[in-house]
Amino acid sequence: MKAPPRLRSLIEEGLIDSVVRQLMSGKEAMVFVVRCGDETRCAKVYKEATRRSFRQAVDYTENRKVKNTRQARAMAKGTKFGRQAQEAAWQSAEVDALYRLAAAGVRVPRPLNFHDGVLLMELVTDAAGDAAPRLNDVELSADEARRHHRTLIAEVVRMLAAGVIHGDLSEFNILLAADGPVIIDLPQAVDAAGNNHAQRMLLRDVANLGAFFGRFAPELLVSRYGPEIWDLYQRGVLQADTPLTGAFESRLGPVDVAGVLRVVDDARDEEKARLQRMQLAT
């Protein structure tokens, strides 16, 4: 395959040898299978902001660090330099999250390099050595659903223990590798301690997992892992290997009506996006 313009600089730098094929095109990037010596890897090429459909919502970018006050002012004013700085920060957020989570033992693709707006990382494969399918493309038995759900809940806990929340976790950004699920697509990852919307995002991520796997194992639809995980985190007792029950009784207190409505709106938007993706796939 002829190398796309965005990958030519990596070939010139000797980071990759050739482009095998395009693997997928998503809302914020295109992914290619590439060859690096004797190894097959993947290269994630971020789309320009004007060509992407994913909205860089302030909920995600809240409290993200920038290099200096000049960049911060430019980003706030929306100047050309500010938009470029915001785009660079958006891309580096995923790179930073991948390195941070890989170091914490979370099941994410191993990052290898980041050059000229291209993220080079390991290719997640299935038992046959082919690119692993997304979870939404796989039919599961009830036992498989329970097992993968258990694995992913443990990964959510491990991520939170490392201070990171995915923020957009669903069956569309989880790959089913030969040895189990692998979490991908992290440009919207947030710092759990520095984002005021962290709780809502964590609860939504966990609810998305329950809703998907609950199609195959209905008892998962009524599990309460999200509130249980957040309660442990808030009390400062959550560890990467903390055992969970999936049962949780909320403590009585003031009701955050605005927060509840936002969760409902998020769920409605997620369902709308899911239906649109299904229509595009048919």
In tens, the pLDDT along 222-234 reads 999 999 999 999 9
Mean pLDDT computed over 25-43: 91
In a domain, 227, yes or no: yes
Residue 139 lies in a domain: yes
Residue range of the domain that includes 253: 135-281
Q: Is residue 171 part of a domain?
A: yes
143 classed as catalytic:
no
Is position 260 within any domain?
Answer: yes
More confident residue, 60 or 175: 175
Average predicted confidence (pLDDT) for the chain: 85
- In angstroms, rounded to a whole number, what is the distance separating the alpha carbons of residues 263 and 252? 19
What six digits make up the tokens of 119?
């993220």
Q: Is the pLDDT of residue 282 over 90?
A: no
For 164, counting Cβ atoms within 10 Å of its Cβ (0-12 exposed, 13-18 middle, 19+ buried), the class is buried
Strands 29-36 and 39-46 come out as antiparallel
Confidence of residue 54 (pLDDT cuts 50, 70, 90): very low
Identify residue 87 by its one-letter amino acid code.
E
153: domain CATH number is 1.10.510.10
**pLDDT computed for residue 74 by the predictor:** 42
Is 47 among the domain residues?
Answer: no
d(CA 3, CA 20): 9
How high is the pLDDT of residue 49? 60
Query: Total structural domains in the chain?
Result: 1
Q: What confidence category does residue 272 fall into, taking pLDDT thresholds of 50, 70 and 90?
A: confident
> Which of 60, 58, 85 lies closest to 74, judged by CA?
85
d(CA 261, CA 35): 47
pLDDT tens, position by position, 187-220: 889 999 989 999 999 999 999 999 999 999 999 9
| Phi, psi at 182, each rounded to 5° | -130, 130
Is residue 15, in this structure, part of any structural domain at all?
no
Mean pLDDT of the region 39-68: 64
185 is annotated as an active-site residue: yes
Per residue in 87-135, pLDDT tens?
666 678 889 999 999 999 999 999 999 988 899 999 999 999 999 999 9
Q: Give the integer Cα–Cα distance in Å for 109 and 98.
A: 7
With a cut of 70, say whether residue 18 has pLDDT above it. Answer: yes
Exactly one of 130, 185, 205, 265 is catalytic; which is it?
Answer: 185
Which of the residues 168, 179, 205, 256 is marked catalytic? Answer: 168
